[in-house]
Structure 1
Amino acid sequence: MSPYEAVVLAGGAARRLGGADKPAVPVGGRSLLERVLAACADADRTVVVGPRRPTPGRSVVWTREQPPGGGPLPALDAGLRATQGPLVAVLAADQPFLTPAHLATLRAAVPDDADGVLLRDRTGRDQPLTAVYRTEPLRRELALAVAEYGTLTGLPLHIVLSGLHLRRLASDDTLDCDTWADIAAARARIRDHGQVLDEWIAAVKAELGIDPDVDTKALLDTARDAAHSVARPAAPLSTFLIGYAAALHGMSPLEAAAKVSDLAHRWSEESAGTVNAEGTGDTRDTRGTGSPEGTDAGSGRP
């Protein structure tokens, strides 16, 4: 797939949030801006247009629109001036559910005879700030708008987009957050049972500045084996030791988890008396009156 750069628009007055710093609003333990930056982590360069904010683990280029607060077109122009490549993802910083898969789908959908592709959400609205554009046509239309209007300040996005040949890609989701009700809904969605674990793992990775390829199912299976075969506290301690071993010995977490699961099964079999002293699977009960030959295991008398 073709390389790309990303421009993230992180300014704006957020009037429907009462003037709050919307990109810094936390959803699931990470700011909206952090979540969007995670979605475009594979971009060759990421330009953020807006006031500087913390971006743990990410190196980005910061710039500001002129004048500050001048609207989406001055912000877009400022972002493009800091890019070099032929393809650019233009993103709003208020999309907690934007994923690398969304951007990969958009990039793959840019046809040779079009200037870009943008998402159309489930309500039928075009999302020009969830889009991938060819850079040169976008720069051309910005220059034409300046020539016609004398400024980009206060102009709506459609002034520029109307001159582009764009493809629309339908989505069954709505990704952006405009109001506090949207924020509340996003926070509730992240805590949904079917999604909360993946969201928590992603938040922990971001907090610790790590990005291992975690097989969540394998680790949960191992934690279950340790809890059931040994004792409940063995589950969190075992997963900690898996991570420690992976870091110390350079083995994959999956390999370490498999070793611990196998150990837990052996531990359980031994505790149940299903292996003999040589570990060869003697399943006879050798305790008390159930000892072989019908003898008293303590005295050896019949």
Structure 2
Amino acid sequence: MTAAPEFDAVILAGGRARRFGGADKPAARIAGRPLVGWAAAAAAGAGRLVVVGPPRPDPPGAIAVREDPPGGGPVPALRAGLAEVRAPWLVLLAADLPFLRAEQVGELREAAARHGAGAVLVDGDGHPQWLIGCWHAPTLRAAARTYRGTSLRGLLAPLEPLAVSLPAGERPPWYDCDTPESFERARRIAAASPPPA
């Protein structure tokens, strides 16, 4: 088995949350922890934890940066986060993943190290989840430097990452809280069977 190398983590916690009614989605709590806190816990072991978005108290110890312009989308946010990355690998996560766990991120990291360029989680239908992945930082940085589009998929897909499928169980690791309805469903799932801390 390939050892997972040293890594930093970038969590995208900005955006306008239009589908979430404009509320501060990363601060919304499930099982007593803000969504951004669950994402940070999934990136446990990162040398640097970089949160891109408005300043917030959670997670403590994170490096907070803003995309330019604020709310400009995932590609500017990724570039802002990349500027703070020092490790050879980075884990890229959305801030609204209440069921993703550190051991699953570890599997992504190991897969990325085997592959060389990166690895991305695919959902139960086989669709890549571009905000759950591990990337070779110099390769991603070079691609971001020359990319002129606005789509995160347009930036990441040409790097040909390894697609990683993980068991779903009751809490699919790719489950994200894009809408108030999906957030309330996640709260019900967590209340019925509390997630581990």
TM-score by length of 1: 0.60
Matches within 5 A, 1:107-146: 107-145=109-147
Amino acid at match of 1:156: S
| Residues 1:22 and 2:25 aligned together | yes
Residues 149-193 of structure 1, C-alpha deviations (whole Å, 9 max, x = no match): 3xx6xx01122113202100113323211111111111011111x
Residue 124 of structure 1 aligns to a residue whose secondary structure is coil
Q: Which residue of 2 aligns with 1:190?
A: 190
| Residues 1:156 and 2:158 aligned together | no
* Shift in Å, 1:108: 1.1
Q: Which residue of 83, 91, 97 maps to 1:81? A: 83
| Residues 1:45 and 2:48 aligned together | yes
Contact 1:141–1:163 (Cα < 8 Å) also in 2:
no
CA distance in 2, matches of 1:158, 1:38: 25
* Shift in Å, 1:111: 4.4
Residues 182-212 of structure 1, C-alpha deviations (whole Å, 9 max, x = no match): 11111011111xx32x54xx3xxxxxxxxxx
Unaligned runs of 5+ in 2: none
| Residues 1:178 and 2:178 aligned together | yes
Contact 1:96–1:175 (Cα < 8 Å) also in 2:
yes
Unaligned runs of 5+ in 1: 203-302
* Shift in Å, 1:18: 1.1
Structure 1 segments of 4+ aligned residues over 6 angstroms from their partners: none
* Shift in Å, 1:13: 1.0
Q: Could you tell which deviates more after superposition, 133-142 or 160-169?
A: 160-169
Contact 2:115–2:162 (Cα < 8 Å) also in 1:
no
TM-score by length of 2: 0.90
CA distance in 2, matches of 1:184, 1:18: 13
CA distance in 2, matches of 1:113, 1:102: 17
Amino acid at match of 1:62: A
Higher RCO (CA-CA < 8 Å; seq separation 6+): 2
Residues 85-130 of structure 1, C-alpha deviations (whole Å, 9 max, x = no match): 1100000000011111111110111244431000001132211110
Higher share in strand = 2
Residues 9-61 of structure 1, C-alpha deviations (whole Å, 9 max, x = no match): 000111111111110111111110111111112111100000011225x3111
| Residues 1:6 and 2:12 aligned together | no
Contact 1:114–1:165 (Cα < 8 Å) also in 2:
no
Residues 218-240 of structure 1, C-alpha deviations (whole Å, 9 max, x = no match): xxxxxxxxxxxxxxxxxxxxxxx
Q: How many pairs were matched up?
A: 189
Residue 112 of structure 2 aligns to a residue whose secondary structure is coil
